[in-house]
Amino acid sequence: MSFDRLIANIKEKQNPTVAGLDPKLDYIPDHIRSAAFEKYGKNLEGAAAALLEFNKGLIDALCDIVPAVKPQAAYYEMYGWYGVRTLAETIAYAKEKGMFVITDAKRNDIGTTMEAYAKAHIGCTDIEGEKVQAFSSDALTVNGYLGTDGIKPLLEICKNDDKGIFVLVKTSNPSSGELQDRVLDDGMTVYRTMGTMCEKWGSDAMGDFGYSAVGAVVGATYTEQLAELRKALPHTFFLVPGYGAQGGGAKDVAPAFDENGRGAVINSSRGIMCAWKKEGCDEKEYAQAARREALRMRDEIVSYIGTIK
Amino acid sequence: MSFDRLIANIKEKQNPTVAGLDPKLDYIPDHIRSAAFEKYGKNLEGAAAALLEFNKGLIDALCDIVPAVKPQAAYYEMYGWYGVRTLAETIAYAKEKGMFVITDAKRNDIGTTMEAYAKAHIGCTDIEGEKVQAFSSDALTVNGYLGTDGIKPLLEICKNDDKGIFVLVKTSNPSSGELQDRVLDDGMTVYRTMGTMCEKWGSDAMGDFGYSAVGAVVGATYTEQLAELRKALPHTFFLVPGYGAQGGGAKDVAPAFDENGRGAVINSSRGIMCAWKKEGCDEKEYAQAARREALRMRDEIVSYIGTIK
């Protein structure tokens, strides 16, 4: 099962983190932007070319120490189909470098349509009998508001093609509680109910480390809920956003892990991508600054959870 | 406000329907597929070219009688970035032909990321001071699981750029009730709670017909809930999927409309796209068959709701 590959990668690198690739133009050093705009024009194509160059530099600097990357689809779609091409190329490049790739796209739809998303993002597209990979990440984030129908098509691919999904359970944003914290008539919160569905959906797709192919997104900014959910959902691997720029610290994310130091991967996007700005170093060193921040984050988190067994 | 343009279009054509453009390769006549594969190869590029040709034929045949189209992002992403380019080109073509375009992408994320989706799909992307349109539909479907933060960035664009959003409230699929029908501790269902949030989100973006820029997705397959929500959400315009192939009939969707025959637009995708298969007509007549089905659907629905005032 997919998260076995991720967990093995985390163990090997002793690093339970994922680098978010959400490349706004503002984050990209001037020399990369200028070169791309000069070549392609100050347009979507030029912007997308700058994004790809920036991402490749980050991946090269991180691939031997960080187990996974998480490109966020929105920041690519913002640059039109050129941006989406950069997303596909970023995924392919990161996979080539041995990284586990999580496409953060929070897709959701009814069954027949979800089948199309599943094929697009973690499976294969059938073109008159030819199997072709459209984006083909290792894992995809999804939204479970539509229930089982919208999850099932993904499960088939998870089982057959060794892929995984992360379902939104308790998100990191300030207003996540408006619906997610509401209590149902059986006394359970909505987020806990969604978490319980993840356990059920994953029960048929269990991996060797005791975690299924159905993970959950749980924000670093809600540390009590993290602890509650880690206990309640023993087979659900967590993707934890909200560390760093959104306010979550290493101490806040520690409850996401089990007694073996497993069970979660912590994301940092802006912290890593913009490390060169925060450091104030030469912009040509942006990738090295990202690496330094990734190492600092790794050490900080591992200092709370110990060796990953 | 955006839905004013849609409603005006519906009134003018006396047709409260939208044609879903979810073009699977299977739905596309052989002569279109063969020509595209011959030109570009049996690959993502060839498939995407066939999709575009098919869509253009449908748009040409429908644009004077159907007020809107709704491309479903999943069916384009399935063909990689080539497919996403076809999505952009389809949107542009339909707008050129005077149709109101709803991108059905059910996007959702935290605030900063939702801003990127909002710019991508209904707004403009800023490239060093240049404003560029990435996809730029008239409206976007979204998922409200993350609460207000994930909706706010869209509202700004709705107000400033005359656009709209449809929030998933009660979806058409069989398992939609697993979460959406659950009852909260105040006695309200989850779908009703989401509907109430739509009224609140839209209160600041009201249009001339009494409907705000924040609409709701409510499935044709749940006719009681349609009636309940129409009553409870007087300022929320409905996008109603599930007519036709999913089992909803004209009688089932009638409760979605107000006493003026307004308040909703009914989607049909497969029914229209595959009309040529159902009719058994010459495949070269696929667009005319789609037009005949669109007219039949219009007449059937209008027979229940009367003149649209």
Residue type, A165: I
Nearest to B42 among A109, A130, A135 (CB): A130
Identify the CATH number of the domain in which residue B221 sits. Answer: 3.20.20.70
In A, which residues are within 8 Å of B144 by CB distance? 179
- The verdict on a CB contact (< 8 Å) between B184 and A180 is no
Whether the predicted pLDDT of A81 surpasses 80: yes
- ipTM summary value: 0.97
Whether the predicted pLDDT of A83 surpasses 90: yes
Q: What is the mean pLDDT of residues A243-271?
A: 92
* Interface with chain B: mutation pick from A72, A84, A131, highest number of B CBs within 10 Å: A84
- The verdict on a CB contact (< 8 Å) between B128 and A180 is no
Q: Is residue B204 part of a domain?
A: yes
* pLDDT number for residue A23: 94
In A, which residues are within 8 Å of B72 by CB distance? 109, 113, 116
User: What pTM was estimated for this model as a whole?
Assistant: 0.98
Q: What is the mean pLDDT of residues A200-214?
A: 96
B139: which DSSP letter? Answer: E
Q: Is residue A247 part of a domain?
A: yes
- The verdict on a CB contact (< 8 Å) between B147 and A175 is yes
* pLDDT number for residue B244: 83
Cβ atoms within 10 A of the Cβ of A264, count?
28
Nearest to B184 among A107, A143, A185 (CB): A185
Higher pLDDT among residues A128 and B1, named by residue: A128
Q: Is residue B101 part of a domain?
A: no
- The verdict on a CB contact (< 8 Å) between A113 and B174 is no
Closest CA to A188 of A148, A156, A232: A232
Structural domain count, chain A: 1
Whether the predicted pLDDT of A246 surpasses 90: no
Contact B20, B272 (CB under 8 A): yes
Give how far Cα A193 sits from Cα of B147, B148, B183, Å: 17, 21, 12
CA-angle at B275, arms to B270 and B279, nearest 5°: 145
Q: Which residue range is the domain that position B279 belongs to?
A: 2-24+107-304
A30-73: per-residue pLDDT in tens?
999 999 999 999 999 999 999 999 999 999 999 999 999 999 99
- The verdict on a CB contact (< 8 Å) between A135 and B193 is no
- Element housing B34 (H / E): helix B30-40
Q: Is residue A131 part of a domain?
A: yes
β-pairing verdict for A125-127 and A130-132: antiparallel
* pLDDT number for residue B1: 61
Number of helices followed by number of strands (H, E) in chain B: 14, 10
Q: What is the mean pLDDT of residues A191-220?
A: 97
CA-angle at B281, arms to B279 and B284, nearest 5°: 130
Nearest to A173 among B106, B111, B119 (CB): B111
Q: Is residue B83 part of a domain?
A: no
CA distance A145 to chain B (A): 6
Q: Is residue A39 part of a domain?
A: yes
> Which parts of chain B sit beneath pLDDT 70?
1
Whether the predicted pLDDT of A2 surpasses 80: no
Residue type, A191: Y
- The verdict on a CB contact (< 8 Å) between A182 and B175 is no
Closest CA to A150 of A188, A183, A197, A190: A197
Residue of A nearest to B133 (CA): A80
Q: Is residue B230 part of a domain?
A: yes
Q: Is residue A309 part of a domain?
A: no
